[in-house]
Structure 1
Amino acid sequence: MTAITPEKLPEELRRAADVVASITAKLTDQDVEAPSELPGWTRGHVLAHVTGISNAMARQLEFAARGETIELYDGGYEGRTRAIEMAAGHSLAEHRADLDAALERALRAFGGLNDAGWRQPISYRGGVVFDGGLALWRELVIHATDLDTGRGPETWSRPFCEQLFDFLAARVPEGNRYVLQPLGLAPVTIGSGSAATVVSGMLTDIAAWLAGRTPTLGSLRATAAADGVDLPELLPWPAGVPVTK
């Protein structure tokens, strides 16, 4: 697999942020009010969320630089949801201004790190700054697709897809093992159970399915014991913010 390193990640974050900003620059006020690819969310909801997670990750780094940790969102999951709902209906101009400021804040934070900075603890998943950078990369790339403007998972890079394979291995139900077989590439096994299912197809289609998005190249096929089967079940996306009842 093609490993993403702290040295390479700032460039990937900049590239992903530029894509989101470019898409947003072409939207109209009517576009913002239209449905996104995410059920129940308009494009305004997606833009509000991208703004929120960018500011949240920047805050993680700003506190880490002082040797402190802070929760990802003020008010936890409920605070995140409230903020998205409050900002979703903003005008396009407001979304653009908020998003540009949040992206710049996050890119500035990640762009100024030294080796020790990448290893500073943060509260997000009890990890370190590098984990937060990978999370923001995932958020930017996937939600650019969720904006439903014609940029689908087929645009995802090989390093990004392979990073998803690693992160989303947590979606494999206990007792199962999925062998991901991208066309022309080495297989990747996720899960550790005895029951093996092979999922084959284009790299981006496999990544899209694993991320809960719609494959765009139509190439996916699942087999178990050499017989064709339905695509296997996946657990929910591993949440980075605890959900309290």
Structure 2
Amino acid sequence: MTQITPGTLPAELHKAAGTVTRLLAKLDDDSVAGPSQLPGWTRGHVLAHIEGISNAMARQLEYAARGETIELYDGGMDGRTKAIELAAGHSLEEHTEAVTAAVGAAIAALDALGPDDWHARIAYRDGTVLDGGLALWRELTIHASDLGLGFGPETWSRPFCEHLIGFLEARVPDSYKFVLQPTGLPQMSIGTGSTSIAITGMLTDIAAWLAGREPSLGSLRATAAADGVELPQLLPWPAAQPAAR
């Protein structure tokens, strides 16, 4: 799988941020209030979440620079949910100003990092600044697709799909090993269980399915012991906070 490093991540983040900016320009107030690809969320909810996670990651970096950590969201996940609901109904002008400022601040903070800064600790997933940067890449890319404006998972790059598949290995049930067979690309395996299931299809469709999104280039096929089976149920998305210890 493609390895994303501090040397390659900033360029990918700028591409993702540019996509969000271009999609904002496609919206009007009516379409902001329309449904997104996420059940129960309008596009306004998605934009409010992009603003929130961008501000949260910028804050993670701010504290990391001082050798400190702070929770991802004020008020934890309840605070995150309340902030999204409060901002979801904003006008396009308000969303554009808030999202542009938040994404810009997060990208600028990452651009300013020195080589050693990427290894500083943050509270997010009890990880490092690099983990936070990768999370922002995932959030910007996936939620740009969730806006439903013609930038679906079929547009995700191979490096992004391979990174996302590696990250989402945590969704593979303990008893399974998924043998992923992306069309025209090398096979890869995730999971360590004793029951092997082969998942065949386009790389972007495999990544979309693992991310809980609708594959858009064709149907995925699952086989076990040479027989067709249903696509297996996945475990929940990896939690944003480390388990209590």
Q: Shorter-chain TM-score category?
A: over 0.9
* Counterparts of residues 118-137 of structure 1 (less than 5 Å): 118-137=118-137
8 Å contact 2:33–2:44 — kept in the other structure?
A: yes
Structure 2 vs 1, CA of residues 45 and 243 (structure 1 numbering), >3 Å: closer, same or farther? farther
| Residue 234 of structure 1, CA deviation | 0.3
Taking the aligned partners of 2:7 and 2:55, their CA distance within structure 1 comes to 22
Q: State the match for 1:5 in structure 2.
A: 5
SS at match of 1:205: helix
Taking the aligned partners of 1:32 and 1:219, their CA distance within structure 2 comes to 30
Q: State the match for 1:169 in structure 2.
A: 169
Amino acid at match of 2:153: P
8 Å contact 1:119–1:130 — kept in the other structure?
A: yes
Amino acid at match of 1:200: T
Amino acid at match of 2:109: A
Aligned residues: 244
8 Å contact 1:77–1:242 — kept in the other structure?
A: no
SS at match of 2:97: helix
| Residue 232 of structure 1, CA deviation | 1.1
Q: Which runs of 4+ in 1 moved over 2 A?
A: 241-244
Q: State the match for 1:184 in structure 2.
A: 184
Q: State the match for 1:232 in structure 2.
A: 232
* Counterparts of residues 83-232 of structure 1 (less than 5 Å): 83-232=83-232
| Residue 184 of structure 1, CA deviation | 1.5
Taking the aligned partners of 2:195 and 2:117, their CA distance within structure 1 comes to 41
Q: State the match for 2:24 in structure 1.
A: 24
8 Å contact 2:126–2:242 — kept in the other structure?
A: no
| Residue 241 of structure 1, CA deviation | 4.2
Segments of 5+ residues of structure 1 without an aligned counterpart are none
Percent identity between the aligned chains?
66
Q: State the match for 2:36 in structure 1.
A: 36
Taking the aligned partners of 2:8 and 2:239, their CA distance within structure 1 comes to 25
| Residue 243 of structure 1, CA deviation | 10
TM-score normalised over the length of structure 1: 0.97
Segments of 5+ residues of structure 2 without an aligned counterpart are none
Alignment deviations for residues 173-209 of structure 1 (CA, whole Å, 9 cap, x no partner): 1111111111111111111010010001110010000
Taking the aligned partners of 1:191 and 1:77, their CA distance within structure 2 comes to 28
Taking the aligned partners of 1:93 and 1:35, their CA distance within structure 2 comes to 18
SS at match of 1:179: strand
8 Å contact 2:154–2:216 — kept in the other structure?
A: yes
Taking the aligned partners of 2:116 and 2:167, their CA distance within structure 1 comes to 23
Structure 2 vs 1, CA of residues 214 and 102 (structure 1 numbering), >3 Å: closer, same or farther? same
Q: State the match for 1:59 in structure 2.
A: 59
